[in-house]
Amino acid sequence: MDDYVVKIPGKKFYEQAGTAKAVDSNFLSFFNFKLLAGDPESALADPDLVVLTASIARKYFGNKNPIGKQLTIKLHKELNLRVSAVTEDAPLNSSLRYNLLVTLSRFNLYPAWQIDGVHFIRLAEKANPNALKGKMSTFINRYMSGLEIRPSRMYLLALKDLHVDSIHVRGAWWQDPRSVYLMTLSIGVALLLVVCCNYMSLATSQYLSRAGQVSIRKVLGASRSQLLLQFLTESILVALVAFALSIALSELMYPKFAELIFSNVGPKITSNPSMLLKLLLVSILVGIVAGSYPAFFLACLRPMEVFRKVSPITKKGVGFRQILVILQFSISILLMVNAVLAVKQFDHLNQLDLGYNKERVYLARIGYGNYTTDLAAVKNELQSHPGIRAVSAASYIPIDWETESRVIPEGATENESWTWNVYSVDNNFIDLLEMKIIRGISFRHNQPGSKSFIINQTAARHLPWDDPIGKRLSVGGKKGVIIGVVKDFHFRHIFFKKMPSVLYVGEDSLNYLYIKLEKSNALEPISYIKDRWDRLNPDLPFEYAALDEYYQRRYTFYKNLGVLISGIGTIAVIFSILGLIGLASYATRGRTKEIGIRKAHGATVSDILILFLVYFLRLIFLANLIALPMTYYAAKKLVEFSLPAFPMEVDIEILIYVCILTTIVAVASVLLQTYKAAVANPVDALRYE
């Protein structure tokens, strides 16, 4: 369905297209949506019945029992319906979300409608879906050959695959979320890699205290495989404890996370047993990977060297742990830089030159379906208020306005046409939004009633004329003259690049009222409009929004995504610092005697600290050297992917600042860890030599 209005006594509500579904009478019994009231067998048995979700029932009727209550859906005609049942809200990750359900038989009232429908088929247990797919073409030829409009192909999709494998299906499921999944999966894998490296580094440092225990067990006959199994079991147990804690944290953080990304985040993990099992297996795998190096390190210790107080630190082992630290810091820098860029993107969006001024502009819905307000009467009434500068109208909102039509320039053939964005507006729309006329005149200065078009600069460059003013176009079958060229503007989603665009004065389907106020946040004109709305638009509820606020809400996802990635990047840096502390602890333990000898020969605390700082700064510098080009390339790709139409410049200063910040934090953590060894009494280190 298109956008529609729901009326109950004393109230009116706008509802978006797609929230009302026309379904078969057996829809509720076919699927397993839980009914809170009513009978699934009879809930849609009559064309005059309607089923509501729990949330929409509360919206319309509050805490009253909605069963038997009357409501009216106003679309192309009025549907007077009676509530027969209430269902639970569909889960956020469901492909079958709705607010209202009406029967398909209701569509017999409108034989001119073309309904894009989907058939759901429950196969027998032993049925072969692939065999059924092969019979689809035969079905079309046998039963649809006489239809004027027939499908070229029919698809058979498993319902569980509908959300992620329906890019070729027209309708509500036409989407391809794989790129989002790939991005989140990459971030998750990168963070897990940092965690594994961190665990290896810390565990190796702590396991040195167990060298004696391992050596005694070896002397008493323990095999290397037994020791490996013991230490891997320990790391797996740690991972399982972390898994349990993470599930508890996810339950606590779920509401905030859902609020942050305001998207279909799906049900809680605890309500999905298969997902829990997958995460459990991933946790076990992480435990094995993270515990593998410490386990092999301890299992390979030689008892004689341990009993003789020979340090188990080997050059090979030190090199591997250095690689872990470098890898951790490189990934952390990558995540932090992209987090900063994700946050900056929202500021970048607010500073874009979209070709129009959205400040002090308010929107209100004035038309839907076949219902259109008397625009002239509304404009005359509202413009009389001194706080209202101008009033205009258009068919949609200039943020996701993607209407297209066929454009044929004068002298071209049908085969030489283009598909351009086409916008239906009122005659003073361009002036209200302060769009800049580069050449020619605006609609306000044109002769009333004449068929005319205004094109943008991109469209002018596509046309074969040096001066398009006065030339003729055919736009969606409407023929007229180009009277002006306007500076490039962007009415589409910002993800899409600017396209050739045409504006024309629409005689109908002007669904949104545009009101330009004299001052920002002026409440008096809004109250004035509210007071007169029921008289001006008795069929419509009054719902308004500021255009600039609507724009910010529409793209707040970019800001929230930046906050989310910032949190992940911060966690990655913390883990990297912990890994560095582990390596510093390991290094100071292995060089205790060296420190004692140096101090016995006159080395000061600052000399010892500088010795370790030089060692670790070399690793951090190498991590920065590796991370900078990798991060710059990844950041460029992220910006190009998320905003291909308005890519933000990746400032090298951001990379440098992040590198400096991580270096300062790393140096501070190393100083804290090595200071204890630097101030220790050398007698304690050399007592048994």
Helices vs strands, H then E, count in the chain: 20, 21
Residue 544: is it exposed, middle or buried by C-beta count within 10 angstroms (0-12/13-18/19+)?
middle
φ, ψ of residue 387 to 5 degrees: the values are: -85, -5
Return the top range by mean pLDDT from 278-282, 457-461, 629-633: 457-461
121-130, 584-593, 618-627, range with the lowest pLDDT? 584-593
**Rounded distance, CA 629 to CA 622, Å?**
12
* Residue range 661-682: mean pLDDT, rounded: 76
**Rounded distance, CA 606 to CA 7, Å?**
79
pLDDT, tens only, 248-290: 887 787 776 666 654 555 556 777 777 788 888 888 888 888 7
What is residue 178's predicted lDDT score, i.e. its pLDDT? 53
Range 595-619 burial, b when 16+ CB lie within 10 A, else e: bbebbeeebeeeebbebbbebbeeb
- CB neighbourhood size of 123 (10 A): 11
What is residue 109's predicted lDDT score, i.e. its pLDDT? 42
Long-range contacts of 103-108 (CB under 8 A, 24+ apart): 103/22, 103/23, 103/24, 103/25, 103/44, 103/46, 103/47, 103/49, 104/22, 104/23, 104/24, 104/25, 105/25, 105/47, 106/22, 106/47, 106/79, 107/22
Q: Is 505 left (phi over 0), alpha (psi -120 to 50) or beta?
A: beta
Half-sphere exposure of 315 (CA within 13 A, CB side): 0
Residue 100: is it exposed, middle or buried by C-beta count within 10 angstroms (0-12/13-18/19+)?
buried
> What is the average pLDDT value for the chain, to the nearest integer?
78
According to DSSP, the β-strands at 20-23 and 100-103 are parallel
* Residue range 461-475: mean pLDDT, rounded: 90
**Rounded distance, CA 86 to CA 100, Å?**
9
pLDDT-derived band at 123 (thresholds 50, 70, 90) equals confident
| Of 492, 607, 602, 502, residue with least CA distance to 555 | 492
What is residue 453's predicted lDDT score, i.e. its pLDDT? 93
pLDDT-derived band at 73 (thresholds 50, 70, 90) equals confident
Q: Is the pLDDT of residue 175 over 60?
A: no
pLDDT, tens only, 209-234: 666 676 777 777 777 777 778 878 88
pLDDT, tens only, 147-158: 666 667 777 777
* Residue range 507-513: mean pLDDT, rounded: 80
In 537-555, which residue ranges form alpha helices assigned H by DSSP? 547-554
pLDDT-derived band at 487 (thresholds 50, 70, 90) equals very high
CB 192 within 8 A of CB 252: no
**Rounded distance, CA 544 to CA 600, Å?**
79
pLDDT-derived band at 17 (thresholds 50, 70, 90) equals confident
What is residue 481's predicted lDDT score, i.e. its pLDDT? 92
* Residue range 619-625: mean pLDDT, rounded: 83
* Residue range 303-317: mean pLDDT, rounded: 53
φ, ψ of residue 499 to 5 degrees: the values are: -120, 160
| Of 19, 164, 4, residue with least CA distance to 96 | 19
Terminal Cα-to-Cα distance of the chain (whole angstroms): 87
In 351-454, which residue ranges form alpha helices assigned H by DSSP? 375-382, 429-432
pLDDT-derived band at 590 (thresholds 50, 70, 90) equals low
| Of 499, 465, 506, residue with least CA distance to 482 | 465
| Of 280, 260, 259, 261, residue with least CA distance to 269 | 280
What is residue 6's predicted lDDT score, i.e. its pLDDT? 86
Query: Helix, strand, or coil here: 529?
Result: helix
How much of the chain, in percent, has pLDDT values that exceed 90? 10
CB 381 within 8 A of CB 536: yes
How much of the chain, in percent, has pLDDT values that exceed 70? 80
Q: Is the pLDDT of residue 484 over 70?
A: yes
Range 266-292 burial, b when 16+ CB lie within 10 A, else e: beeeeeeeeeeeebeeebeebbbbbbb
Strand partners, 12: 7
**Rounded distance, CA 268 to CA 565, Å?**
21
Return the top range by mean pLDDT from 87-91, 143-147, 586-590: 87-91
**Rounded distance, CA 72 to CA 18, Å?**
17
Return the top range by mean pLDDT from 18-32, 367-381, 556-570, 659-673: 18-32
φ, ψ of residue 607 to 5 degrees: the values are: -60, -40
Q: Which run of H or of E encompasses 362?
A: strand 361-365
What is residue 595's predicted lDDT score, i.e. its pLDDT? 76
Range 470-490 burial, b when 16+ CB lie within 10 A, else e: ebebbbeeeebbbbbbbebbb
Query: Helix, strand, or coil here: 508?
Result: coil
What is residue 113's predicted lDDT score, i.e. its pLDDT? 36
What is residue 609's predicted lDDT score, i.e. its pLDDT? 81
**Rounded distance, CA 160 to CA 162, Å?**
6
